[in-house]
Structure 1
Amino acid sequence: MAQHSSEITHRSVPSPGGRIHLVERGTGPLVLLVHGFPESWYSWRHQLPVLAAAGYRAVAIDVRGYGRSSKPAAAHAYRMLDLVEDNVAVVRALSEESAVVVGHDWGATVAAYSALLRPEVFRSVGLLSVPYTPRGGPRPTSVFARMGGDEEFYVSYFQEPGRAEAEIEPDVRGWLAGFYAALSADTMPAADAPDPHFVSRGGTLRDRFPVGRLPGWLSERDLDFYAAEFERTGLTGALNRYRNMDRDWEDLAAFDGAPVPQPSLFVGGALDASTTWLADAIRAYPDTLPGLVSSHVLDGCGHWIQQERPAEVNRILTDWLAALPR
């Protein structure tokens, strides 16, 4: 069932977990856009028209557990292997043989593993905000548990089913506003303020969020859209991605240290912890992303990169896409 509005098409296509909702604009080579936490297809609203105008079939999905896509009840249904197969199902449902896959935040990791596990489908990969880090090292939850000393890292905080939901769901809109502001260049806490990626013992994440000011990229209308989606769906599907990190580590053992060889792109924000904490991963790109075409770290930019700096990201994306072999 397709629904057309202002040149974009909404539709749902079959996937292993039920269905994936997608938004499509333009014709040409397929570019699949995969969002992160806590977002939606709407995170790509600035990219869809530009990619379409540049001659691409731009398709942004609601990842499993989000928006109008299916939300399987089982926590293990959000493992990386399943999300990769959802991406493959979208490409097939659109009657395409292959696609360029571009992801932001968790979507970047899903995009990287889509390229690694299904290279016959995903011929190149773009990563926004979160660098590619090959599978390896100790069990992820044991690593996160050692971070922060007396404080608790947010990924550890998200592990227990229901715990983060109890913080977020009574005031989804307010929580999202604070979370987006905490990781945005123009509203993030000062460097000497308590880090919003950590929770004090007995506290909540939102204790450290900025209050009363939206970041410049986020209008009240944009916030209304995101809030309405999560008020309808709840947060469990989105949070279940974090609850599968150990399962992914087990599932992907055969790919320990594996590089992603396809033509690739990385764009990060200089003020984003995902970029600064994982600086070693960026330095390792000659080994881990041997097909890297270009890598960019945008000065003065936070985490929500394609929304904070849409014109710059659009130029980088279209230049990279134009240089890829067709």
Structure 2
Amino acid sequence: MELEHEHRFVVIDGVRLHYVEAGEGPLVVLLHGFPEFWWSWRHQIPALVAAGYRVVAPDQRGYAQSDKPRSWRDYRIERLAADVAGLITALGEERAFVVGHDWGAAVAWMVATLHPERVERLAILNVPHPDTMLRTLQRSPKQLLHSWYMFFFQIPWLPEHLLGWGGRRALASTYKDARPGAFTSADIGRYVEALRGPEGFRGPINWYRAALRQSPRRARALYRPIPARVLVIWGEQDRFLTAAMADSDPRLVPDVRVVRLPDASHWVQHDEPERVNALLTEFLSAA
């Protein structure tokens, strides 16, 4: 499908966010993860537009054409979730279907938790509920090894400079477990351009700094049951997150369906775009 869209900007709580918009109908907000930007959804936008939705995919704060506050405190999960709730309001809608992958999924979980009045339904790709993530990191040495980079990112200055200097090679290595052909050389080039230089990586890395500098007690104080219906799509060949993390505490996520894709990696919407598109359109339109 051809990707047709408009580029727009909006200011939410003093932060200027860039987003692309396409189609007409009920609003779907697509939230990218690390180290991507709105281009993460290039396979999903045309399919959702064809299914009759108004699709908006922002560059979240710190990424690509959106503002990049310098302090890690500006990337606390509450602020990231408030950006999305504010975007929905700024677009003239009361509620939206919210879809997220990787860090975008973490934000999506918290939008549905902290701003449930804004979320019609929630679709999550390859990131656990934050409570599951926290409990797993505390109890699983295997997951701690998988998540070593999160702790490396706590070092001041060095990570963003190494990634910035590494350029194409650093980004290409991030996607090395994706299915062959899922990321073309042109795709990698777009990511390199969006995150060019140390300044390009500072914001994304500050997401990790903010997450790990929040105490577990403060984090858990945010969690409450999600009233929205939830779909979790999980590529089981994820090298960053163990497959058991797809399952959430039913007290926090009472209405959830988990679909596991055995041959897909962490980059599930790139590995199996047609399958993911079908699952999303079925879920969003279901009675």
| TM-score > 0.5, shorter chain as reference | yes
1:304 to 228, 242, 267: 267
CA RMSD of superposed structures (Å): 2.7
Q: Tell me the equivalent position of 1:247.
A: 214
Q: Tell me the equivalent position of 2:236.
A: 270
1:12 to 9, 12, 22: 9
In the alignment, structure 1 segments of 5+ residues that lack a partner are 187-214
TM-score by length of 1: 0.80
How do 1:35-184 residues align onto structure 2 when only pairs under 5 Å count?
A: 35-134=32-131, 147-148=144-145, 153-181=148-176, 183-184=177-178
How far apart, CA to CA, are the structure 1 residues paired with 2:285 and 2:14?
33
2:24 to 16, 23, 27: 27
How far off its partner does 1:251 sit? 4.4
Q: Is 2:15–2:67's contact at 8 Å kept on the other side of the alignment? A: yes
SS in 2 for 1:22: strand
Deviations 1:4-27 (A, max 9, x none): x96311101011242111011101
How far apart, CA to CA, are the structure 2 residues paired with 1:252 and 1:154?
20
How far off its partner does 1:92 sit? 1.4
* Bigger proportion of residues as helix: 2
Larger Rg computed on CA atoms? 1
How far apart, CA to CA, are the structure 2 residues paired with 1:263 and 1:10?
30
Letter in 2 for 1:171: G
Letter in 1 for 2:192: A
Distance 1:142 1:267, change over 3 A: closer
Q: Is 2:21–2:54's contact at 8 Å kept on the other side of the alignment? A: yes
Aligned residues: 284
How far apart, CA to CA, are the structure 1 residues paired with 2:40 and 2:236?
20
Distance 1:156 1:100, change over 3 A: same
How far apart, CA to CA, are the structure 2 residues paired with 1:311 and 1:139?
31
Deviations 1:38-66 (A, max 9, x none): 00000001111110110111111101000
Distance 1:310 1:147, change over 3 A: closer
How far apart, CA to CA, are the structure 2 residues paired with 1:126 and 1:241?
21
Deviations 1:213-260 (A, max 9, x none): xx411111111111001116520100001001132745444234x332
How far apart, CA to CA, are the structure 2 residues paired with 1:85 and 1:115?
11
How far apart, CA to CA, are the structure 1 residues paired with 2:100 and 2:215?
18
Letter in 2 for 1:52: V
Identity of aligned residues (%): 37
Distance 1:27 1:152, change over 3 A: closer
Q: Is 1:27–1:57's contact at 8 Å kept on the other side of the alignment? A: yes
SS in 1 for 2:221: helix
Distance 1:239 1:269, change over 3 A: same
Letter in 1 for 2:29: L
Q: Is 1:125–1:262's contact at 8 Å kept on the other side of the alignment? A: yes
Q: Tell me the equivalent position of 1:259.
A: 225
Distance 1:53 1:143, change over 3 A: same
Distance 1:225 1:136, change over 3 A: closer
Distance 1:34 1:248, change over 3 A: farther
Q: Is 2:8–2:20's contact at 8 Å kept on the other side of the alignment? A: yes
In the alignment, structure 2 segments of 5+ residues that lack a partner are none
Distance 1:97 1:152, change over 3 A: closer
